[in-house]
Structure 1
Amino acid sequence: MKTAEIAKRYLTYFEKNGHTIVPSAPLVSDDPALMFVIAGMVPFIPYLSGDVPAPYKRAADNQKCIRTNDIEEVGKTPRHGTFFQMLGNWSFGDYFKEGAIRYAWELLTSPEADGGLGFDPKDLWVTVYEEDDEAHDLWREIAGLPEERIQRLGKDTNYWSTGLPGPAGPCSEIFFDRGPAYGIDGGPATDDDRYVEIWNLVFMQYEITNVRSKYDFEIVGELPARNVDTGMGLERIAFLKQGVENMYETDQVRPVLDRAVELSGKTYGANHDDDVRFRVVADHVRSSLMLLSDGVTPSNEGRGYILRRLMRRVIRAMRLLGVEGPTFAELFAASRDAMKEAYPIVEIDYPRISQYALAEEATFLRTLAAGSENLDASIAAAKGAGRERIDGAEAFLLHDTYGFPIDLTMEIAEEAGLRVDRDAFDTLMQEQRARAKADARSRKRQLADTSVYRDLRAQGETVFTGYTDLETASTVLGILHHGVPVTRASAGQIVEVILAETALYAESGGQVADKGVIVGPGYELEVIDVQRPVPGLVSHTVEVTSGEVGVDQPATSVVDAVNRRAAQQAHSATHLVHAALRDTLGKSATQTGSLNRAGYLRFDFSWGQALSDATKSEIEEIANVAVRDNLEVTTRVLSLDEAKAAGAMALFGEKYGETVRMVDIGGPWSRELCGGIHVASSAEIGLINVIGESSVGASNRRVEALVGQDAFRELATERAIVAQLTSSLKTPKDQLAARIAQLSANLKAAEKKIAQFEAKALEGRVPALAAAATASGPFRVVTESVGTAASGDDVRTLALQVRERVGADAVIALGAEVSGRPVVIVATGEAARGAGAKAGVLAKAAAAALGGGGGGRDDVAQGGGTDAAALPAALRAVATALETASA
């Protein structure tokens, strides 16, 4: 049974049983404490916690998930994957334990011919929380399971919570017994791979607080409604129903594994370590494909870093399999073909997806080349010093700076006959992870608890009137001070205020929040920020500037009209720039992010190379022609399917409801889904002035522009600069570029001549410097400061010429000031080196006196620092070190 067929049977079954089928949310989580949807319940958290009323009593879904906390286990067990699909059925205050157990058992054990999954009841075991007699008895009654196949387990396995204050409850898990060939008898309590967990039924009925750990907390009472949250792992069901050994061999994953086998020329099943690598490749390519399809792009932080790590682990695994060249073109195509039946977007959007994937691969292959050079140097240094291993700090530097995988470092070192100090490396990694986890916990504590908004949200959605009104009379529903509900706030306090209606725009879709005030009888509040802490609720962060505000008082939200108009201009201008980019570059130039504030826009888009000046000018002109043509801006609210059918662009990673707001500028020329504020016609934008274009990561570019009055002021400033230049240079403005280029060329030529004169002057000092050589043991030594020099290369040339004249026993140390910084060049003759004078060692001694670093080869080396006044001391340090070398 194919994976897509299993999902179809699941959703069909629950739809027949009165469940609303909910589309999968994007992998990118709305929860600020989470980067990704890590479990099927994440999109339903506001409903499960009661913060937001559920729009349905019962639902079912197939939710895409990404989880990387067990990334090191991928490929080693039959069930660990970074991307997985979680089938779930949900009850919000409707059925509870009996219904959940009955539905699960019926679907699992009904014959395939009747639409079920066809599991043999004798192969199924269940676990229940040790104190949950009700669930135990229901399994006996509904499923007829014998006592020995119902196991009672403790909180560590059969009590669900997030590890934070909020909802919790006992759970019951269903396991499939793979048979004695896979492990010992004894049921799920043996924690053996023989028993595969396939379904978890969470009976969410309590609210917990004082959470000391995931399993140590206090129950403070029942939730407002008892809920059911279930999750059945689609990949686990698939590998059991398809009769294969693990999830990596199922129909949605195996094609990538097979292609990796073909590219490597190795055999799957012949070597354990290679098999793990093949499975890592198959899993991570699919995960990367799905993350890219949901708008995540590779970067060095956040979600983009997770994606980058997955992709680089693929490259590392393929390299360890013997493939050093690019492979993503074939591996990602194989994953696309395996996933497109379930997720058609991966085929539709594949040109963009593959652009990012191939660019990331090319970048990391270059990184590996750079890291290899540094690793080769470390290996040479270790061997030269007679060491048998590479220091853990060096390996960590390769990993942290170059992204060079430790496994690859160890493999290359082993080929060279060396070991890596893995313990030291692991210690540094643990310290880094501890810092990251502490930071994550801090953010989670600050952002995760939204239960304080539950009662406010229960009163209904905040009505936003700002599309048509700049002032709206309303009522204060609630006030929060430091996250705690209060009844009043007085002058000087900063609090959150919740209104029943508001004209103030909450930050979203790249548009920053409105500025403005909230006024009422005897008080005024300055609006600092406007956000949506939970879906449907708008919170205003305000400073009470006068009077005292209280709950249930009248309140009028007043938008700063000047700021709003400028923000509208910027947001509409962003749509025009987007359309102009697609006109110029093609449909693959899609938006990946934006920021709109009064007078300014920033627009990120997928593109693999810098834009030429001509292209930037063309984009700017197309956008301004649209402004000139005074295109009508219209908005319509319609269903998501209707909007997509009309050609509206949806942004990757954005979550849309069943109804959406579609914004047209000039009809279909610019048609996007957008909840932001816009002008009524394009002429109101005034002017768009593109001021910059830059890279923001592999295959990602950024355009910045000023809009309206800000754009005019920038052009006026540039006009004043041009006028000043034409006056100073006595050159017409149309000839300024050529005149400045000529002056620049003349300046470079003059600097070159000066450098030549300085080099010749230095060269003229060779005889005198050579004559100044003094005997010191077996050496003839010159330690002199030569003043200033144009470059370190000039000083190096001088030192080599003096060494040649002095002879084989020469030790030359010349100091100079180059661009305000001290430099010492040390050159040694062959006989001097034989007697112990190593230039690299001497240069390091000089650099220490200069407050910097240095080193190099035995025959010539360089040291430098920051304190030019210390050059005499640096040269004395060379002489002292030389005396030690000859002792």
Structure 2
Amino acid sequence: MQTAEIHRRWLDFFEKRGHTVVPSASLVSDDPSLMFTVAGMVPFVPYLSGMVPAPYPRATSVQKCIRTNDIEEVGKTPRHGTFFQMCGNFSFGDYFKADAIRFAWELLTTSEADGGLGFEAKDLWVTVYEEDEEAIALWREHSTLPDERIQRLGKDTNYWSTGQPGPAGPCSEIFFDMGPEHGIDGGPATDDDRYVEIWNLVFMQYQVADVKSKTDFTILGELPKKNIDTGMGLERVAFIKQGVANMYEIDQVRPVLDRAAAVAGKMYGADHADDVRLRIIADHVRSGLMLISDGVTPSNEGRGYILRRLLRRVVLQMRLMGVMGASFAELFPVSRDAMQGAYPVVAQDFDHISKVAYAEEKTFLRTLASGIQILQTAVAAATDAHTAVAGDTAFLLHDTHGFPIELTLEIAADAGVSVDEQVFVSLMQEQRDRAKADAKAKKGQRADLSVYKELRGLGETVFTGYTELTHESRVLGIVVDGVPAQEAHEGQIAEIVLAETSLWAEAGGQDSDQGLIVGDGFEAEVLDVQKAVPGLIVHTVKVLVGTVAVDARAETHVDADYRRGATQAHSGTHIVHAALRQVLGEGAHQAGSYNKSGYLRLDFTHSEALSNDTKSEIEEISNLAIRANHEVVTREMPIAEAKALGAMALFGEKYGDRVRMVDIGGPWSRELCAGTHVANSAEIGLISLVSETSVGSANRRIESLVGMDAFRNFAAERAIVQQLTSGLKVPRAELITRVQDLGAQLKAAEKRVASMEAEKLAARVPELLAKAEEVGASRTVLADLGRVGSADDLRTLAMQLRERLSAEAGVVVLAGTIAGGDGPDKPVVLAATTPLAREAGVKAGDIAKLGAKVLGGGGGGKPDLAQGGGTDVSKIGEALAEIRRSLAG
């Protein structure tokens, strides 16, 4: 049975039993405490917790999920995957244990011919919480399981909670027995891999508090509404129904594995190490495909870092199998074809997905090349010294250059040296500890979302700001320092929830409004406006005058100038996006935006920097659209109708069944957008592109000033031009030529000065040779030359001196001071050795390191020529003395 067919049967089964079919939410979770959607229940948490009233009594979904906490186990076990799909059925105070158990048994054991999954009862086991007599009785009633295959387990395995005060309850897990050839008898209680968990039924029935651990908490009582949350692992059921050994061999994953094997010239099943690599590749390519399809792009932090790590692990595994070049163009189309049956969007957006993935692979291959050079130098040094490659070097390669430790170990082993893994592991742990501490600190700064539960239960906040800037409302609730309060007093920072508001809450790239909330005897400045939970707008304010109380009448006042600027910038973002696509083609998708009064920032998919001509063209098209005074029309409609009209759904954004469509110039710019906008494009005033930069391997960023801010920018540039033309006494038309001429003259003068400095230094060769002395076994020149033009001048002089000493064991050590520009002067030391000196064991690299250490810096190089530097000019004499002592010894 194909994976997509299991998917279809699940939704069909529960839809026929009164469940609303809910499409999968994005992998990018709305929950601010989660990076990704990590379980099928995540999108339903507001309903399960009672935070938000459920829009339906029962629901079902097949949810896309990403988990990377067990990434090191991927490929090694039959069922660890980073991307997986969780089939779930949910009840929000509707049915409870009896129906949940009955539905599960019916779907699993009904024959395939009758629409079920066709499991044999003899292959199934269940576990229940040891004290849940009700669940045990219901399994006996609704299934044909014998008592010995209904096993009682403790809280550590069969009791569910969030780990925080709130809803919790016992759970019942369903397992498939793979057979005696896969392990020992005894059922799931043995915790043997023979028994594969395929479904978990959570009976959310209690309110818990004083949570100390997973098994140590206080049950306060039963919830007023008992909920059902279940999850069936689609991949696990698929590999059982398809008769394969693991999830990597199912129909949605195996094609990538086979293609990777073919590219690498390997045979799956022939070598355990290669099999693990091929499974990692198949899993991570699919995960990358799905993450990019939901709008994630590679970066060095957050979600983007996780995606980058997955993609780079694919490159690494391919490299470890001998594939040194690019392979994503072979692998990603295969994953697209395997997944598009369940998720058509991966085919529709594959042009974007492939550009992002291929660009990241290209970038990492360059990173690998530079990392290998650094590692080869470290390996050579370790070989010479008969030591291991330093652990801090391995960590630097991993942390700064993205160079995987596995590749470091392999290259070092090929050269016959080891790596100090103990130090590497220690440094990695320190980094993890810092990250955990930072995450804990950030978590501690967030208010407990449960404080908004009661407020959200009063209804959804109504936004009236599309049509008015002032609105009279009522204070529904106040939160001070994360705790509900009845009042907020003068000078306090508080969060205020109103029944209605004309103040825009930050969303869709548009920053929140500025303004005031005023009432009888109080006035509060609005510092921020956010949607704390879906449907609830929270105003962070500073109370300027008086006291704000719950139930008080309150009037919201939007700062009209700020709103005007914000709408100009938001509409300007749409116009720049349309201009980008007109110039660069439809492959240029918006990949994020931010706009506020006077400023807009637009991220878009494109792999190359824009030329000056291209930027000018985009700017001109944008301003021509403003001059054309296009009408800006907003309409609400079903999402299917909007898409049929050609409206762009921005990449990675989430939309409901009804959407707001914004037209500028009709179909020229037609996007789904909930933000505030101007009435006509001429109201935007002016757009001035001020920068275009890279923000990732396949993403660029345009920043623009808008309206009066754009005008002021042009005015400031005009003033600069006027000052230059006046100071240089040239007409504006000749200004560029005059500046270029001055630059050329300055460069020529600098070249003449450098030549004179070099000649001056070269003239000192006889003098320095005359002062050469016997130090140890070498004739040695040791000299502090004072201020020099550059390290290159010292290097040239050192090589000239070495040439004059080439017939004997000669050592040249020159030090000097280089001007530090705006900062302090910097000391530098150059060392050069002749062949006979090197035969005697004197190496320039060792000399440079020794001198640099005294100078407070670092250095090194080849045995014949090396350089070091530092920060303390006053230590030059001490450094030369230390080098003299070393050479003498």
Contact 2:49 2:167 in 1 (8 A): yes
Residue of structure 2 in register with 1:294 after alignment? 294
Kept in 1, the 8 Å contact 2:51–2:454? The answer is yes
Secondary structure at 1:75's aligned position in 2? Answer: coil
- Size of the aligned set, in residue pairs, is 883
Preserved CA contact (<8 Å) 1:60 1:89: yes
Q: Report the equivalent of 1:144.
A: 144
Distance 1:797 1:635, change over 3 A: same
Residue pair 1:33, 1:447 contacting (<8 A) in 2 also: no
Match of 2:835 in 1: 830
For the residue of structure 2 that corresponds to 1:715, the secondary structure is helix
For residues 5 and 836 of structure 1, the distance between their equivalents in structure 2, rounded to whole angstroms, comes to 73
2:822 alignment partner in structure 1: none
Q: Does 1:842 align with 2:847?
A: yes
The aligned runs of 1:475-494 (5 Å cut-off) are: 475-494=474-493
Q: Paired residue for 2:425? A: 426
- The answer (yes or no) to whether the contact 1:32–1:448 under 8 Å persists in 2 is no
* Matching residue's letter, 1:552: D
Query: Which aligned pairs between 1:204-283 and structure 2 lie closer than 5 A?
Result: 204-283=204-283
Equivalent position of 1:120 in the other structure: 120
1:651 corresponds to which residue?
Answer: 650
Most deviating of 803-812 and 790-799 = 803-812
Q: Deviations over 1:233-252 (max 9, x none)?
A: 11111111111111111110
Is 1:858 aligned with 2:858? no
Q: Secondary structure of 2:217's partner?
A: strand
Contact 1:396 1:428 in 2 (8 A): yes
Residue number in structure 2 paired with 1:368: 368
Deviation of residue 742 (structure 1)? 1.5
Matched residue SS, 1:152:
strand
1:746 shift after superposition: 1.4
Contact 1:503-1:559 within 8 A present in 2 as well: yes
Confirm whether residue 456 of structure 1 aligns to residue 455 of structure 2: yes
Partner of 2:41: 41
What residue in structure 1 maps to residue 408 of structure 2? 409
Question: Equivalents in 2 of 1:658, 1:322: separation in Å?
Answer: 49
- Inter-partner Cα distance in structure 1 for 2:515 and 2:465: 12
Out of 147-156 and 825-834, give the one that drifted further.
825-834
Question: How many angstroms does 1:833 deviate by?
Answer: 3.4
Q: Name the SS of the counterpart of 2:251 in structure 1.
A: coil
- Counterpart in the other structure of 1:441: 440
Counterpart position of 1:754? 753
Paired residues for 1:7-406 under 5 Å: 7-387=7-387, 389-406=388-405
1:382-431 Cα offsets, whole Å, 9 max, x none, are 110022x3232222222112211112211222222222233332222222
Rounded Cα–Cα distance in structure 1 between residues aligned with 2:282 and 2:15: 33
Contact in 2 for aligned 1:83/1:283 (Cα 8 Å): yes
Q: Shift of residue 836 of structure 1?
A: 4.2
Q: Does 1:496 align with 2:495?
A: yes
Alignment of 1:681-692 (within 5 A): 681-692=680-691
Please list every run of 5 or more consecutive structure 2 residues that lacks an aligned counterpart in the other structure: 820-824
The answer to whether the 8 Å contact 1:49/1:223 transfers is: no
Q: CA deviation at 1:156?
A: 1.2
Give the distance between the partners of 2:434 and 2:727, measured in 1 at CA: 56
For the residues of structure 1 that align with 2:61 and 2:782, how far apart are their CA atoms?
A: 79
State the secondary structure of the residue aligned to 1:648: coil
Report the Cα offset of residue 166 of structure 1: 2.3
- Taking the aligned partners of 2:712 and 2:456, their CA distance within structure 1 comes to 44
> How much has 1:448 moved relative to structure 2?
7.3
Counterpart amino acid of 2:654? K
Distance 2:578 2:776 in 1: 78
- Do 2:24 and 2:62's aligned partners in 1 also have CA atoms closer than 8 Å? yes
What is the deviation of 1:837?
A: 3.3
- 1:262-282 deviation per Cα after TM superposition (whole angstroms, max 9, x unaligned): 111111111111111111110
Task: Give the Cα–Cα distance (whole angstroms) in 1 for the partners of residues 771 and 422 of structure 2.
Answer: 53
Distance in 2 (CA, whole Å) between partners of 1:309 and 1:449 is 31
Unaligned 5+ runs, structure 1 = none
Shift of 1:867: 2.4
Distance 1:833 1:178 in 2: 68
**In structure 2, what is the Cα distance between the partners aligned to 1:613 and 1:535?**
43
How far does residue 445 in structure 1 lie from its aligned partner after superposition? 4.3
Q: What is the aligned partner in structure 1 of residue 732 from structure 2?
A: 733
Report the alpha carbon displacement of residue 780 of structure 1 after superposing the two structures with TM.
2.4
Whether the aligned pair in 1 keeps the contact of 2:776 and 2:887 (CA below 8 Å) is: no
CA distance in 1, matches of 2:749, 2:792: 19
Q: Which secondary structure state, in structure 2, belongs to the residue aligned with residue 696 of structure 1?
A: strand
If the length of structure 2 is used for normalisation, what is the TM-score?
A: 0.98
Correspondence for 1:880: 885
Tell whether the 8 Å contact from 2:121 to 2:144 is kept in structure 1 after alignment.
no
SS in 2 for 1:420: coil
1:548 corresponds in structure 2 to 547
1:689-720: CA deviation from partner (whole Å, max 9, x where unpaired): 00010011111100000000000000000001
Whole-angstrom distance in 1 between the partners of 2:771 and 2:784: 12
> 1:863, CA displacement in angstroms?
1.8
Matched with 2:779 is 780
- 1:206 aligned counterpart, secondary structure: strand
Letter of the 2:885 counterpart: T
Q: Which residue of 2 aligns with 1:674?
A: 673
Give 2:138's aligned amino acid: L
Letter aligned with residue 484 of structure 1: V
3-state DSSP of counterpart to 2:174: strand
Worse-matched range after superposition: 843-852 or 332-341: 843-852
Deviates more, 1:193-202 or 1:846-855: 846-855
Match of 1:629 in 2: 628
What is the Cα-based RMSD across aligned positions, in Å? 1.3
Q: Is the 8 A contact 1:603 1:703 kept in 2?
A: yes
Secondary structure in structure 1 of the residue aligned to 2:53: coil
| Alpha-carbon displacement from aligned partner over 1:628-686 (angstroms, at most 9, x marks no partner) | 01111111111111111111111222221111111111111111111111111100000
Q: Match for 1:165: what amino acid?
A: P
Aligned AA (1:859):
D
What is the Cα deviation at residue 322 of structure 1?
1.8
- The answer on whether the counterparts of 1:773 and 1:806 sit within 8 Å (CA) in structure 2 is no
1:695-714 matches, within 5 Å, as: 695-714=694-713
Equivalent residues of 2:845, 2:866 under 8 A apart: yes
Measured in 1, the distance between the counterparts of 2:788 and 2:329 equals 52
1:530-609 correspondence runs (5 A):
530-609=529-608
More displaced 10-residue stretch of structure 1: 103-112 or 220-229: 220-229
Change in Cα spacing, 1:588 to 1:115, as seen in structure 2 (3 Å) is same
488 and 618 in structure 1: CA distance in 2 versus 1, 3 angstrom threshold: same
Which has the larger displacement, 162-171 or 458-467?
162-171
The answer to whether the 8 A contact 1:198-1:236 is kept is yes
Instruction: Give the structure 2 partner of residue 870 of structure 1.
Output: 875
Q: 1:340 to 1:512 in 2, by over 3 A?
A: same
Cα deviation per residue 1:352-391 (whole Å; 9 max; x = unaligned)? 100011111111111111111111112111110022x323
Alpha-carbon distance, 1:841 to partner:
2.3
Give the 3-state SS of the residue equivalent to 1:768 in structure 2: helix
Paired letter, 1:42: V
Cα shift at 1:856: 2.1
Kept in 2, the 8 Å contact 1:605–1:702? The answer is yes
CA distance in 2 between partners of 1:9 and 1:448 (Å)? 41
The code of the aligned residue for 1:324 comes to: M
